[in-house]
Amino acid sequence: VKPKVYVTRKMNEEAMAILEKDCDVISWSGTDPVPRAELLKNIEQVDGLYCVLTDKIDKNVLDVAKNLKVISTMSVGYDHLDINEIKKRGIKVGYTPETLTDATAELTVGLLLATCRRLIEANAAAKGGKWQTWSPFWMCGTSLKNATVGFFGFGRIGQEIARRLKTFKTKEILYTSRNAKPEAAEIGALKVDFENLLAKSDFLIVCCSFNESTRGKFNLDAFKKMKKNAVFINSSRGGVVNQDDLVIALKDKLIWGAGLDVTTPEPLPIDHALFKFENCVILPHIGSAAIDCRMEMAALTAENIVTALRGEPMPSELKF
């Protein structure tokens, strides 16, 4: 008999075909997240789980999933998976790091430019009848030229952002991470401690993974230590930021502006204070949302499952 796989979201045909060649596949047919009860009901018998980052795979789910051998998430982040509980059960995990590095780096550069050059605000002004004339200092923002760009976390994505930003004639690239990165020399990035990153960065880009050591790292204390002209960018996970403190930082002009592709919660409620700041650009978690990238992510997520269920090495296994 074929192994059983549950897919938590409506997926493209190409990814489904990869799964269906080897497995009996059941799928949540919605483009919205699978309801919890539906997930719990369907996961009982399955050998493999194809999930996305809105699915909380915690002890509750794992206790029900008695036959589960592999979890494959269509994401680089895996903070939605309870890795300790997964480890205890000997379940393998697949994810999609390499596939989305470039798309996420592109989006982050776009978000940074949208924030520092006020693109969203300017577009709204033009469309809203507020464009009266060319004016010397109207809609002026800040520039990357001669700027110091700091990275909190400097993995694949951060490094690709840095490579792209250097072509904007930045002055200096700094980064903070637990371990020194061998790629930093070639990029020309300098490792500094958190205090120096805060004090020196004109642009501060969060590119770390989300875990207990990075939770709420950007709080009022951190924003107070940043430059008044600093542009804060986050395309990793909302939880790295204390959002109430970010609201204060923007209100009190402790920093110049913020660009966020991730928030807490997601979606961010429409009446949230962050939406009220013109100098805060908010995107709905679209870092990897380029069609070729998502197709590749979907295919890899499927490949990870079928190889694991065949007992072969997964093309992209999370080692923990």
The two beta strands, 148-152 and 172-176, are parallel
In the set 285, 288, 301, 304, the catalytic residue is 285
Cβ proximity to ligand GLV, 210 vs 256, nearer residue: 210
3-class secondary-structure state, position 101: helix
* Selection from 169, 182, 150, 134 nearest residue 255 by Cα: 150
Min dist CB 38 to ligand GLV, Å, is: 23
DSSP-H helix ranges across the chain: 13-22, 36-43, 59-64, 83-88, 101-116, 119-127, 156-166, 184-187, 194-200, 220-225, 243-251, 291-310
Cβ proximity to ligand GLV, 45 vs 54, nearer residue: 54
Q: Cα dist. 116→100, 198, 259, 307 in Å?
A: 24, 18, 9, 44
- 285 flagged as catalytic: yes
Cβ proximity to ligand GLV, 42 vs 96, nearer residue: 96
Min dist CB 154 to ligand GLV, Å, is: 7
At 172, which helix (H) or strand (E)? strand 172-176
Min dist CB 234 to ligand GLV, Å, is: 11
Cβ(173)–Cβ(165) below 8 Å? yes
3-class secondary-structure state, position 44: coil
Rounded CA-CA distance 76/55 in Å is 14
Rounded CA-CA distance 84/78 in Å is 12
Q: Which residues contact 212 (CB under 8 A, 6 or more apart)?
A: none
Cβ proximity to ligand GLV, 52 vs 120, nearer residue: 52
Cβ proximity to ligand GLV, 34 vs 76, nearer residue: 76
Q: Cα dist. 196→45, 112, 272 in Å?
A: 52, 21, 31
Rounded CA-CA distance 86/70 in Å is 9
Min dist CB 110 to ligand GLV, Å, is: 16
Other C-beta atoms lying within 10 Å of the C-beta of residue 139: 14
Cβ proximity to ligand GLV, 157 vs 314, nearer residue: 157
Q: Which residues bind ligand GLV (CB under 6 A)?
A: 53, 75-77, 97, 100-101, 153, 155-158, 207, 287-288
> Which are the catalytic amino acids?
285
